[in-house]
A and B are shown apart, each in its own frame.
Chain A
């Protein structure tokens, strides 16, 4: 009888020990929110294994939408994503900021920020991010040099956008709704031969032969990688699905 009790106790302890992975020490929460929202840092792209340029910011709000200070926010992500810091208390504005380093595999990553409300219920918000492979990273560099001045409407202190100067507004590369239906052949053609090749604006100039065929492929790969909604390649199907 004693043995049975001991065995059950040992088993329970063992299971309890396995169930809870040791988490990095985080301070006890001083406040609880009713919602967690995305303030910034989602939908960024960086080379696989690299840090995202901008920090990821989540905000814990009360029922009225005001920031809650001192709420415990924890960041999680699969595939080897690392956070600095991974957890902590929200500031006076209810915000918690972390720097994100993506995992070593290229592809889509989901970063989840969690906090708990008064009743202990878990609140989450997801930040989608993209890790670029070699070809896509190359495409991003080319895009920065040749494309983003027109295709990115944002101006910075160092660089003024040309987007609003054009009579036909160029599409952001993340505009998946417009660009995903464009076939690979047409995408390559419009970059290489210009807008006129597909009966679109001549303000999109022909980048061939300035860019080599492999450069243009790299650009297309980058455009597909940052598409939102995500790009699903066509052509190959699986009989089981």
Chain B
């Protein structure tokens, strides 16, 4: 049939032409509903309808279901999200247990979905109406869906302060500060405040007095071979580079002002087992393990991570330096977190014997260094300049290396088009950041970024912390932003202040927002305790919480020093909530005491957490109360029982919200507890 014949047949006369055109028009018009009918989202909405149809709550689910494209439009946030078109059950709590997407309900979160939309947290293209375009966009300017394991990063766009619900984000941000990332990379908040490092890399200006060139060489070759917990990364130096850097570090070192040269205390011989045992006791009684870790005979790491690991310290430090350090660490390092212990010379000798026995013959076995040459020293200096060692360490003659690595302030919004991916790497931002952290040199051997030793969990946390640094954060309404707490610069005054600095109370205790979190917050301590008990505790700290392994060390204070500190604490660290002499403990009747005992053991079951009668009670969680009447202030106990969280936020003690008469009776009962502690009884 020829074209002419077809034309003749279709449009031969006006009736035929009219008929044909009508048919074509109908077909054209049908395209629109047909196209609509095959839309992806319509398919999902139909599936949702059939999912809810047979459920017992189907009628109410169907009533709330809205057909058609659903959009959340939030112009302030730059959000136009149509995700709920397919994710039809997002707000239906009764669908909990439905495992198939896109119908799972959203898990409960502190924010309303309608106020924040979806892409604020999940990324992706909110306005898209196809699965592919919404989730896995590969366009350079767009963001694919954020994998769920990094979701906390999105909280960090507004919440610059640590949140109770974002453990991973908090850990990641802590790591940025603690692993020294922010010493090389600049990271600033939307307000413009630069993140500051919380680690304490030592100054190397007097390094030759502390250790040997051989140790430096072995350490910079592989810090984790010396201490598995070391936070210094591995710079993957060649033998020659390590040789030259160690040569330069020794050559630039100057003596530290140790005052007059002091004789070494008598250090027991390394085969004197009894003396080593005594040294171990000095180490134990000073609670060195609260801050320093050491691998025990079973291979387990025991101790804290405030100070460096000491498993192989005997292979590192020079005896003269160690003696000076134990006498007063501030002489070598004025900013150290280590307290001044006021040890007796005899104990220093014993502790030295113990610490020097912690050696590892393998660590330095293969290190053979010839005498240095000027060329090596010069090359070492060049390397130190290039590698940016002074971003962390002070080194004589080399200026501080400032932010010489790429700024990471908006790394969480880095467009994919600007990234050069290593071969074999999935083309997503989290994969890129994670690979950069895991194996920095896989992006090029000439890169300076060193190799860190981190677990999967730590890398996830760091990636989360970095993904929170988005450019979106800057454009959000200021009212949404919760800025980081400005760091406290609290400093106690006068002689008590000097003593507290000398004994480094802030390394473990927080007062007025400044300090460590190992020990209780002391901001209200003066309202809590009795002066006589405090003086005694400062001089001879005894165990209050039997289950804790971190304890208050004995600082060998004089009577006068303990009195000065106690007076200051009793006077200054008072709560404004009540007067310390508000309750007169002598006015309690024996009826009050008996009633209090009933409440203590009966209604409130205090004995499940506290030991009061060491022969009977076994609770391990709260402090022992055997001498509560000698230790605590009656008004404090009373208010503590009413709302402990108000007096010491974050305490494990419950907010009992107790009635006045119950709190009064238990206070009466506890103020009766005046059993003096037995030496070494609590364990």
Residues in A lying within 8 Å of B, measured CB to CB: 47-51, 53, 84, 99, 101, 104-107, 133-138, 141, 145-146, 149-150, 157-162, 164-166, 196, 201-207, 209-210, 214, 217-218, 233, 235-240
Q: Which of A138, A145, A235 has the most CB of B within 10 A?
A: A138
Q: Known contacts being A104-B148, A159-B547, A217-B108, is A237 close to B654, with CB within 8 Å?
A: no
Q: List 8 A-B contacts (CB under 8 A).
A: A53-B457, A134-B107, A134-B151, A141-B164, A150-B621, A204-B605, A205-B608, A237-B55
The answer to whether A48 touches B655 (Cβ under 8 A) is no
Binds A, one of B91-99, B569-577, B672-680: B91-99
Task: Report the separation of the CA atoms of residues A236 and B93 in the bound assembly, to the nearest whole angstrom.
Answer: 11
Task: Report the separation of the CA atoms of residues A239 and B54 in the bound assembly, to the nearest whole angstrom.
Answer: 5
On chain A, the residues within 8 Å of B549 by CB distance are 157-158
Within 8 A of A (CB), among B486-523: none
Whether B602 sits at the interface, judged by CB under 8 Å, is yes
A98 → B minimal CB distance (Å): 12
On chain B, the residues within 8 Å of A161 by CB distance are 620
Q: Which residue of A lies closest to B653 (CB)?
A: A210
Q: 16 extra interchain contacts, Cβ-Cβ under 8 A, other than A137-B167, A165-B620?
A: A49-B150, A84-B456, A104-B149, A146-B652, A159-B547, A160-B547, A162-B609, A166-B619, A196-B603, A201-B605, A202-B602, A202-B605, A205-B608, A209-B655, A210-B654, A239-B55
Q: Which residue of B lies closest to A224 (CB)?
A: B96
The answer to whether B605 touches A141 (Cβ under 8 A) is no
A233 partner, pick from B96, B150, B619, B621, beta carbons under 8 A: B96
On chain A, the residues within 8 Å of B150 by CB distance are 49
B216 → A minimal CB distance (Å): 33
A236 partner, pick from B55, B148, B300, B645, beta carbons under 8 A: B55
Whether B168 sits at the interface, judged by CB under 8 Å, is yes
Whether B373 sits at the interface, judged by CB under 8 Å, is no
On chain B, the residues within 8 Å of A145 by CB distance are 652
The answer to whether B300 touches A157 (Cβ under 8 A) is yes
On chain B, the residues within 8 Å of A157 by CB distance are 300, 302, 549
B89 → A minimal CB distance (Å): 12
The answer to whether B148 touches A48 (Cβ under 8 A) is yes
On chain A, the residues within 8 Å of B101 by CB distance are 105
Within 8 A of A (CB), among B81-126: 94, 96-97, 99, 101, 107-110
On chain B, the residues within 8 Å of A149 by CB distance are 547, 620-621
Task: Report the separation of the CA atoms of residues A162 and B96 in the bound assembly, to the nearest whole angstrom.
Answer: 34
The answer to whether B110 touches A214 (Cβ under 8 A) is yes
Q: Known contacts being A50-B149, A134-B151, is A205 close to B108, with CB within 8 Å?
A: no
Q: Which of B96, B608, B645 has the most CB of A within 10 A?
A: B608
Q: Which residue of A lies closest to B98 (CB)?
A: A236
How many B residues face the partner with a CB closer than 8 A? 47
Task: Report the separation of the CA atoms of residues A137 and B171 in the bound assembly, to the nearest whole angstrom.
Answer: 15
B457 partner, pick from A50, A158, A237, beta carbons under 8 A: A50
Within 8 A of A (CB), among B375-402: none
Question: Which 3 pairs, one residue from A and one from B, show the smallest C-beta to C-beta distance?
Answer: A49-B149, A165-B618, A202-B605
On chain A, the residues within 8 Å of B96 by CB distance are 233
The answer to whether B148 touches A210 (Cβ under 8 A) is no
B236 → A minimal CB distance (Å): 22
Whether B406 sits at the interface, judged by CB under 8 Å, is no
Q: Which of A161, A162, A237, A239 has the most CB of B within 10 A?
A: A162
A137 → B minimal CB distance (Å): 8
Q: Which residue of B lies closest to A165 (CB)?
A: B618
Q: Known contacts being A162-B619, A214-B110, A236-B55, is A51 close to B605, with CB within 8 Å?
A: no
The answer to whether A49 touches B148 (Cβ under 8 A) is yes
Q: Which residue of A lies closest to B657 (CB)?
A: A209
Whether B415 sits at the interface, judged by CB under 8 Å, is no
The answer to whether B456 touches A162 (Cβ under 8 A) is no
Task: Report the separation of the CA atoms of residues A166 and B547 in the bound assembly, to the nearest whole angstrom.
Answer: 15
The answer to whether B108 touches A214 (Cβ under 8 A) is yes
B604 → A minimal CB distance (Å): 7
On chain B, the residues within 8 Å of A166 by CB distance are 608, 619
Task: Report the separation of the CA atoms of residues A168 and B574 in the bound assembly, to the nearest whole angstrom.
Answer: 39
Task: Report the separation of the CA atoms of residues A162 and B618 in the bound assembly, to the nearest whole angstrom.
Answer: 8
Task: Report the separation of the CA atoms of residues A209 and B654 in the bound assembly, to the nearest whole angstrom.
Answer: 8
Task: Report the separation of the CA atoms of residues A50 and B463 in the bound assembly, to the nearest whole angstrom.
Answer: 12
Whether B165 sits at the interface, judged by CB under 8 Å, is yes
Q: Which residue of B lies closest to A194 (CB)?
A: B605
Whether B40 sits at the interface, judged by CB under 8 Å, is no
Q: Which residue of B lies closest to A141 (CB)?
A: B167
Task: Report the separation of the CA atoms of residues A239 and B456 in the bound assembly, to the nearest whole angstrom.
Answer: 45
On chain A, the residues within 8 Å of B457 by CB distance are 50-51, 53
The answer to whether B54 touches A238 (Cβ under 8 A) is yes
Task: Report the separation of the CA atoms of residues A202 and B605 in the bound assembly, to the nearest whole angstrom.
Answer: 5
On chain B, the residues within 8 Å of A158 by CB distance are 549
Whether B444 sits at the interface, judged by CB under 8 Å, is no
Task: Report the separation of the CA atoms of residues A8 and B655 in the bound assembly, to the nearest whole angstrom.
Answer: 78
On chain A, the residues within 8 Å of B608 by CB distance are 150, 162, 165-166, 203, 205
B112 → A minimal CB distance (Å): 13
The answer to whether B654 touches A207 (Cβ under 8 A) is yes
Task: Report the separation of the CA atoms of residues A160 and B545 in the bound assembly, to the nearest whole angstrom.
Answer: 11
On chain A, the residues within 8 Å of B107 by CB distance are 106, 133-136
Q: Which of A51, A53, A218 has the most CB of B within 10 A?
A: A51
B99 → A minimal CB distance (Å): 6
Whether B56 sits at the interface, judged by CB under 8 Å, is yes
Whether B147 sits at the interface, judged by CB under 8 Å, is yes
Task: Report the separation of the CA atoms of residues A69 and B56 in the bound assembly, to the nearest whole angstrom.
Answer: 55
The answer to whether A47 touches B302 (Cβ under 8 A) is no
Scoring B residues 429 to 463 as 1 if CB is less than 8 Å from chain A, else 0, what string do you get? 00000000000000000000000000111001000
Task: Report the separation of the CA atoms of residues A137 and B618 in the bound assembly, to the nearest whole angstrom.
Answer: 31
Q: Known contacts being A157-B302, A162-B608, A162-B620, is A99 close to B456, with CB within 8 Å?
A: yes
Q: Known contacts being A162-B608, A233-B96, is A47 close to B149, with CB within 8 Å?
A: yes
The answer to whether A236 touches B655 (Cβ under 8 A) is no
Q: Which residue of B lies closest to A233 (CB)?
A: B97
On chain A, the residues within 8 Å of B618 by CB distance are 164-165
On chain A, the residues within 8 Å of B54 by CB distance are 238-240
Whether B581 sits at the interface, judged by CB under 8 Å, is no
